[in-house]
Amino acid sequence: MNYNTIIVGAGIAGATAARILAEEGNQKVLVIERRNHIGGNCYDELDDYGILIHTYGPHIFHTGEESVREFLSRFTDWYDFGHEVVAKVADQLIPVPFNLNTLHMVYEKEKADRLEQKLIAEYGEGSRVPIMKLRENEDPDVREIAEYVYQNVFLRYTMKQWGQKPEEISPEVTGRVPVVISYDNRYFKDKYQSVPIDGFTPMFEKMLDHPNIEVRLNTDCLDVLSFEDRKIYFEGEEFTGNVIYTGAIDELFHLRFGRLPYRSLDFKFEHLDQDSFQGHSVVNYTVSEDFTRITEFKFLTGQKNTNGTTIVREYPFAYTGAKNEIPYYAILNEDNEKLYGKYKTMTEEFGNFHLLGRLAEYKYYNIDAMTLKAMELARTLL
């Protein structure tokens, strides 16, 4: 095949771009993936006990964007559900995001009723208030709630996840889980909340199953692509088509300006010979334990008639670049943005090189935003 476009990475960014280019532009597309499977971090598989697990942590597809839902629905049907999370605080399981149900669990009725009225008067029914914003309110009642939520939901979880306090990290991050002034227990507000009915991996298989798409697994792009004199070479020959890169940008340039900081996760899976472990898909450990959360997969995937149950605990740590580590989360701050900018500038000398994805753009993308971005980029390259 004479390729029009080379895409590095078979995650949602790479797979979406590949499909659009192949289908709408009739382009010959090569997808290079260094892992032994497609799907990137959305990958799922059956474990040794026949239970569908998310190998790189729990993934729920949630979106309000019709075009994204429509596009992905061509490759899968959905198991739809309202995703709910609880936090273990002392011996209670309280709904997160903290909402009016949580308020009534935490305070006795009379006080909860009063606080509820106060929150509605201050912010309006149905509003979603970031914890860092709630903490700025000077009303003593609101401050009391803010302090409770800060101490019991955010402080220790964030310390585990980021190694920093909530006030030290980007407000964009804690703002993902606001205080919700309603009785809605769902973790996300989006219209669609689902997982692919047969799993993410079959959805990716269908996306990439097109006569114009070739996928090469177990191939690191650093072994086949090189960059010299403002030109891109593929297997030693100049490549003048487009390259879409979805990997980490610092790796591409051999850490020339130093490593971009990331947080990583150690996933510890456990199979238990019992019907259910926690009765919830996700329990956040916001005040105790070294891990941040436990996911029990059967409650996430809707899988029925399993033998026992499989859970995973997530232990965050600072990414060092060791071979077995994966950079999961960009650490958003000014210094890192600057460093990222240096690498990005280097890519700008190649007119045909495009950065796309959570790693390549050093951003905190959800699946739906990533799909949309990939659809948009691919369509500009048709």
Q: Which residues bind ligand UDP (CB under 6 A)?
A: 87, 96, 153-154, 157-158, 161, 173-174, 176-177, 284, 286
Rg of the chain in Å (alpha carbons): 22
Q: DSSP per residue over 83-107, as a string?
A: -BEEEEETTEEEEES--HHHHHHHS
**Is residue 72 at the binding interface for ligand FAD, with CB under 6 A as the rule?**
no
**Token pair listed for 327:** 């950079």
Toward ligand FAD, which CB reaches closer, 150 or 200?
A: 200
What are the C-alpha distances in Å from 266 to residues 201, 318, 325, 326? 21, 10, 8, 9
Shortest Cβ 323–ligand FAD spacing (Å): 13
Binds 284: which of ligand UDP, ligand FAD, none (CB < 5-8 Å by kind): ligand UDP
DSSP category for residue 255: T
**Is residue 14 at the binding interface for ligand FAD, with CB under 6 A as the rule?**
yes
Toward ligand UDP, which CB reaches closer, 3 or 157?
A: 157
Binds 328: which of ligand FAD, ligand UDP, none (CB < 5-8 Å by kind): ligand FAD
Give the residue, chosen from 9, 97, 166, 196, that forms a contact with ligand FAD under the rule CB under 6 A: 9
* 8 A C-beta contact, residue 95 and residue 83: no
**Is residue 370 at the binding interface for ligand FAD, with CB under 6 A as the rule?**
yes
**Is residue 32 at the binding interface for ligand FAD, with CB under 6 A as the rule?**
yes
Shortest Cβ 106–ligand FAD spacing (Å): 26
Binds 25: which of ligand FAD, ligand UDP, none (CB < 5-8 Å by kind): none
Number of residue whose CB is nearest ligand UDP: 157
Toward ligand UDP, which CB reaches closer, 3 or 162?
A: 162
Q: Kindly give the residue spans of alpha helices, DSSP state H, lying in the chain.
A: 12-24, 66-73, 100-106, 109-123, 131-134, 140-149, 156-162, 171-174, 200-208, 221-224, 249-252, 298-301, 334-347, 367-380
Only segment of 55-63, 139-147, 154-162, 347-355 that touches ligand FAD (CB under 6 A): 55-63
Beta bridge partners of 84: 186
**How many whole angstroms separate alpha carbon 207 and alpha carbon 202?**
9
Toward ligand UDP, which CB reaches closer, 4 or 286?
A: 286
User: Scanning residues 214 to 253, which ones bind ligand FAD (CB under 6 A)?
Assistant: 220-222, 246-247
**Token pair listed for 84:** 């709910």
